[in-house]
Amino acid sequence: MIKPSSQARDGDTEQRILDAAHAVFLRRGTAGARTQEIAKEAGVNSALLHYYFRTKARLAEAVFQRAAMELMPAVIRVLGSEAELEEKVEQVVDIELRQLLKTPYLPGYILSELTHHPERAAQLFSSAAGVAPSEIGARVFKVLRAQINARVKAKRMHPMAPEQFAINLLALCVFPFAARPMVMALAGLDQAGFAEFIERRRKELAPFFLRALRP
């Protein structure tokens, strides 16, 4: 076991603790996580964990910020870009499902954290883009609104508020992971079967969503 010393903080040790905390918090949530389990997974003692992060609350904040950074920046960049609307749908589906298949506990963890710590909603977006959620929304929805309106005018799409467009798309991506135990039970899937289900969904979801938009 590594013991704390008076030497400068070791970046590798700090990263190892954060990696372990990330895994434990995502598995158990903040309420269920125990610092002893995190220390054991990191290969350090509890005193060293306390030396680097002081409290479980500070460690939880660091883990939440890291979790937010795994997903939000790429999705925000895509939705706010000048890419064609159809291309945005394909890219968001691909980004979300590929990443969430690597970290299937992530949506449940983030939703649980936001339920018990609603103030972290601002952290979720500011970590991703460095600005307030309202600024991100205004920027992204302005671009989406112009693209949607152009397609509605050309009779290529049903009228839809940009907020509804974005939430519908993200919900279709996130729900199977947020409700993963239920989805697996209903469909009779094991872990490998769930991975196959998501891979199939990754190919089928964008065409399904785009068809639903057409008049």
- Entry pTM: 0.78
If one counts the domains in the chain, the total is: 2
Q: Name the pLDDT band for 127 (thresholds 50, 70, 90).
A: low
pLDDT tens digits, one per residue of 61-101:
787 777 777 777 889 889 999 999 999 999 999 999 998 99
What residues make up the domain containing 160? 70-213
Contacts 24+ apart (CB under 8 A), 187-196: 194/104, 195/101
How many Å is the Cα radius of gyration of the chain? 20
Residue 44: strand, helix, or coil: strand
pLDDT higher than 50, residue 51? yes
| 86 is a domain residue | yes
Contacts 24+ apart (CB under 8 A), 43-48: 43/1, 43/2, 43/16, 44/1, 44/2, 44/13, 44/16, 44/17, 45/1, 45/2, 45/3, 47/3, 47/4, 48/1, 48/2, 48/3, 48/4, 48/13, 48/17
CATH number at residue 177: 1.10.357.10
Q: Are 207 and 143 in a shared domain?
A: yes
Residues 81 and 99 in one domain: yes
- The verdict on residue 151 lying in a domain is yes
Q: Residues 53, 119: one domain?
A: no
Contact 160, 213 (CB under 8 A): yes
